[in-house]
C-alpha cells in the first residue's frame, strides 16, 4: 500500500494544510507537463508481485517481520497483513533480452525467499487468494506494523461512521459477510506491471491499458475461491473493490469515483486529467505534512495518489538523476501460478499495450469506454469464457479473441520493441497453450476443488507442490488425478 507515514491520527487543520499543498503540487505538475520537464523516455518495464507466507499445513503464517529481518533485502517489503510480502525487481528497457532478464531476476529473488521461508519452517506461495484463508485470519492483530495501514483503516472507518464493510459476491456460489475493518484487502495478492512512458505517449498507452484489463484479467485468472466459496474466475476484483468501499466524494453515488475503480473515462489529452480528478473527487485519507528534502518533489500529490486504487493507475516517479517521469501501473492480474506464467503475462501485456497504443484511429475511437469497463467485469467473472465486445462492435469469446487476434498482435508489438525472438516465442507460446487448453490457475484450482470434495488444505498443498516444480500451469498435473 505504498509510502510510510509518521502517525495515524490527524486534525482538521492537518486536512486543510494537506489540501492546500495538494492543490499547489497538482498545479506544479501541470507546469512541468506544459514546460516539457518530464522525461521523454519510453518503454521501460518493471513489476511488483505479492506473495503469501504459509506454514507446513498450508495455513497463513503471520511471519513477515521475522521473514524480512532474516532475508534483509530492500527488494522485499511488508504488505498489509503479516502473512504477505511484496517482491520488486529492477526496471529494464524493453528490448533485447529484457524478458529473460526479468525472469532471471525474479527467479533468483524467489529462490532466496523460498530458502528464507524454509529456515522459518514455512513456505512462500504465489496465488491470488489463498484457499485456506479463514475470516478469523483477517483480524487487526494481523495487520503489519506500519502507520500507513493503521491510518487508512482509521480514516475509512471514520468516514463510514464506524459502520462495517459489507461484502457480497455472487458467482458460482454466493458469499455475503461483514468486516469491521479493511483487512479484507489482505485476502488479495497481485502482480502489478509498470511501464514508463513519455508524457506525449501516455494517454494512448493508458487507454490501451484500460482496454487490456479484460483480456489480461481473464488470461491470468488465479483467484476462484474465497472462504470455501467458488465465486468469480478472478474474485480479487469484487473483493478489493468492496474491501475498502468508500465513495470518492463530490460524486459519491457514482462508482467511477470509488477508491477502487475502473475509472471514469478515457484520458483525452494528458495524464494530468487523472491527477486533477484525484484533487477534485477524492478527499485525502493520509494528510501527513511531508518535507520535500526527505520525501522528494511533489510528495503530497504522490501520497494522495497512492490511496486511490484505480485498476490502471498513473504514477509519478523520478529517474536516478532526479528527472520526473510518468509510469502506468496495470493492477488487474493476480500473483502466480508460477514464475514462467508471471513473465509470460508480462510479455503479453507489454506486447499488446505497445501495439494497441499505436492504433489508427486511436483505440478510444474504436471501443466505447462503457463497453471497455463492461468487458473487464465480464472477464473477471467468467474468465476466458467471457463474451466481450471488441473494436468496432465485434462480439465474441475472450478465448477466441486472444487466439485469433490478440496473441498475433502481441507478437508484433514485441517485435517492434526488438525483444529477442526466442523469448517472444517462449513466453507467448506459454500464453497460447494456456488459452487453447483453458488451463488458467483459476481453472486448475476449481477443477481440483470439485474433484476432491472441496478440501481446501489438500488443494493448497497440491498447488504448492506444482508451483515448486517451476513449470507453467498448463503443464501441471491434472487435478482430478492427484
174-224 pLDDT, tens digit per residue, is 999 999 999 999 999 999 999 999 999 999 999 999 999 999 999 999 999
Query: Is 3 a domain residue?
Result: no
In the predicted structure, residue 4 carries a pLDDT above the cut 90 = no
Res. 1 pLDDT band, cuts 50 70 90: very low
Q: Which domain holds residue 205?
A: 12-465
User: What are 168's strand-pairing partners?
Assistant: 176
Q: 453: burial class by Cβ within 10 Å (0-12, 13-18, 19+)? A: exposed
Q: Of all residues in the chain, what percent carry a pLDDT higher than 70? A: 96
56-90 pLDDT, tens digit per residue, is 999 999 999 999 999 999 999 999 999 999 999 99
- Of residues 394, 200, 289, the one with CA closest to residue 16: 289
Query: Is 444 a domain residue?
Result: yes
Grid cell for residue 291 = 518535507
Give the model's pLDDT for residue 292. Answer: 86
421-437 vs 339-357: helix crossing angle, rounded to 10: 100
**How many CA within 13 A on the CB side of residue 286?**
26
Give the model's pLDDT for residue 145. Answer: 87
- Of residues 72, 171, 158, the one with CA closest to residue 115: 72
Query: Is 169 a domain residue?
Result: yes
- The number of domains in the chain is 1
**How many CA within 13 A on the CB side of residue 159?**
21
371-430 pLDDT, tens digit per residue, is 999 999 999 999 999 999 999 999 999 999 999 999 999 999 999 999 999 999 999 999
Give yes or no for a contact between 443 and 385, defined as CB atoms under 8 angstroms apart: no
Backbone angle region of 410, left / alpha / beta, with phi > 0 → left and psi within -120 to 50 → alpha: alpha
Query: Is 409 a domain residue?
Result: yes
Give yes or no for a contact between 450 and 364, defined as CB atoms under 8 angstroms apart: no
Please give the Cα distance from 256 to 329 (Å, whole number).
18
Cα–Cα separations (whole angstroms), residue 457 to 117, 121, 134, 453: 19, 17, 12, 11
Query: Is 135 a domain residue?
Result: yes
- Of residues 441, 429, 407, 404, the one with CA closest to residue 220: 441
Phi/psi at 358 (nearest 5 deg)? Answer: -100, 10
- Core vs surface per residue 213-228: b (16+ CB within 10 A) or e: bbbbbbbbbbbbbbbe
Phi/psi at 316 (nearest 5 deg)? Answer: -105, 120
Res. 254 pLDDT band, cuts 50 70 90: low
Q: 137: burial class by Cβ within 10 Å (0-12, 13-18, 19+)? A: buried
- Of residues 203, 80, 87, the one with CA closest to residue 152: 80
21-62 pLDDT, tens digit per residue, is 999 999 999 999 999 999 998 899 999 999 999 999 999 999
- Core vs surface per residue 368-390: b (16+ CB within 10 A) or e: ebebbbebbbbbbbbbbebebbb
Query: Is 2 a domain residue?
Result: no
CATH code, 97: 3.30.590.20
**Helix/strand/coil for 291:** coil
In the predicted structure, residue 257 carries a pLDDT above the cut 80 = no
In the predicted structure, residue 2 carries a pLDDT above the cut 80 = no
Give yes or no for a contact between 15 and 174, defined as CB atoms under 8 angstroms apart: no
Mean pLDDT, the chain, integer: 95
**Number of residues in the chain:** 482
Give yes or no for a contact between 219 and 402, defined as CB atoms under 8 angstroms apart: yes
In the predicted structure, residue 256 carries a pLDDT above the cut 80 = no
In the predicted structure, residue 122 carries a pLDDT above the cut 90 = yes
Q: Strands 309-310, 260-261: parallel, antiparallel or unpaired by DSSP?
A: parallel
**How many CA within 13 A on the CB side of residue 278?**
28
Please give the Cα distance from 395 to 462 (Å, whole number).
37
Residue appearing with cell numbers 507442490: 465
Give the model's pLDDT for residue 371. Answer: 98
Give yes or no for a contact between 402 and 435, defined as CB atoms under 8 angstroms apart: yes
- Of residues 54, 48, 49, the one with CA closest to residue 67: 54
CA angle 250, 186, 227 (to 5 degrees): 110
In the predicted structure, residue 234 carries a pLDDT above the cut 80 = yes
Res. 249 pLDDT band, cuts 50 70 90: very low
Res. 294 pLDDT band, cuts 50 70 90: confident
Q: 180: burial class by Cβ within 10 Å (0-12, 13-18, 19+)? A: middle
Grid cell for residue 81 = 497483513
339-357 vs 98-119: helix crossing angle, rounded to 10: 150
Query: Is 427 a domain residue?
Result: yes
Segment 277-289 mean pLDDT: 94
Give the model's pLDDT for residue 252. Answer: 46
Query: Is 302 a domain residue?
Result: yes
Amino acid at each position: 500500500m505504498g509510502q510510510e507515514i509518521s502517525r495515524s491520527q490527524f486534525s482538521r487543520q492537518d486536512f486543510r494544510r494537506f489540501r492546500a499543498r495538494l492543490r499547489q503540487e497538482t498545479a506544479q505538475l501541470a507546469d512541468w507537463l506544459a514546460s516539457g520537464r518530464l522525461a521523454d523516455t519510453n518503454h521501460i518495464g518493471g513489476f511488483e508481485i505479492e506473495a503469501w507466507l504459509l506454514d507446513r499445513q498450508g495455513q497463513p503464517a503471520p511471519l513477515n517481520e521475522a521473514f524480512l529481518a532474516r532475508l534483509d533485502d530492500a527488494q522485499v517489503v511488508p504488505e498489509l497483513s503479516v502473512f504477505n510480502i511484496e517482491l520488486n525487481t529492477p526496471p529494464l528497457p524493453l528490448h533485447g533480452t529484457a524478458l529473460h532478464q526479468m525472469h532471471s531476476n525474479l527467479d533468483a529473488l524467489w529462490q532466496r525467499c523460498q530458502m528464507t521461508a524454509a529456515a522459518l519452517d514455512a513456505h512462500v506461495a504465489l496465488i491470488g487468494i489463498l484457499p485456506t484463508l479463514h475470516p478469523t485470519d483477517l483480524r487487526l492483530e494481523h495487520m503489519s506494523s506500519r502507520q500507513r495501514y493503521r491510518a487508512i483503516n482509521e480514516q475509512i472507518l471514520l468516514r463510514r461512521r464506524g459502520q462495517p464493510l459489507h461484502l457480497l459476491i455472487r458467482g458460482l456460489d454466493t458469499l455475503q459477510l461483514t468486516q469491521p475493518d479493511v483487512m479484507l484487502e489482505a485476502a488479495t495478492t497481485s502482480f502489478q506491471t509498470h511501464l514508463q512512458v513519455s508524457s506525449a505517449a501516455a494517454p494512448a498507452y493508458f487507454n490501451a491499458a484500460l482496454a487490456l484489463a479484460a483480456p489480461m484479467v481473464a488470461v491470468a485468472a488465479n483467484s476462484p475461491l474465497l472462504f470455501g466459496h467458488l465465486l468469480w474466475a478472478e474474485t480479487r476484483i469484487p473483493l478489493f473493490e468492496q474491501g475498502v468501499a468508500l465513495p470518492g466524494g463530490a460524486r459519491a453515488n457514482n462508482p467511477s469515483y470509488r477508491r477502487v475503480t475502473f475509472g471514469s473515462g478515457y484520458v483525452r489529452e494528458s495524464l494530468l486529467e487523472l491527477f486533477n480528478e484525484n484533487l477534485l473527487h477524492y478527499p485525502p485519507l493520509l494528510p501527513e505534512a511531508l518535507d520535500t528534502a526527505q520525501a522528494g518533489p511533489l510528495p503530497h500529490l504522490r501520497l494522495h495518489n497512492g490511496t486511490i486504487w484505480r485498476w490502471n493507475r498513473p504514477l509519478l516517479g523520478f529517474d536516478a538523476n532526479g528527472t520526473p517521469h510518468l509510469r502506468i501501473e496495470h493492477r488487474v492480474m493476480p500473483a502466480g501460478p508460477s514464475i514462467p506464467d508471471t513473465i509470460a503475462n508480462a510479455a503479453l501485456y507489454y506486447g499488446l499495450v505497445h501495439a494497441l497504443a499505436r492504433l489508427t484511429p486511436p483505440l478510444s475511437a474504436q471501443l466505447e469506454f462503457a463497453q471497455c469497463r463492461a468487458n473487464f467485469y465480464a472477464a473477471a467473472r467468467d474468465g476466458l469464457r467471457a463474451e466481450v465486445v471488441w473494436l468496432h462492435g465485434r462480439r465474441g469469446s475472450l478465448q477466441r479473441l486472444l487466439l485469433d487476434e490478440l496473441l498475433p498482435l502481441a507478437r508484433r508489438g514485441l517485435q517492434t520493441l526488438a525483444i529477442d525472438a526466442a523469448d517472444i516465442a517462449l513466453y507467448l507460446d506459454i500464453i497460447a497453450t494456456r488459452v487453447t487448453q483453458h488451463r488458467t490457475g483459476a481453472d486448475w484450482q476449481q477443477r481440483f476443488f470439485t474433484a476432491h470434495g472441496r478440501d481446501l488444505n489438500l488443494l493448497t498443498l497440491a498447488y504448492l507442490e506444482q508451483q515448486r516444480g517451476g513449470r507453467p500451469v498448463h503443464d501441471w498435473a491434472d487435478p482430478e488425478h492427484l
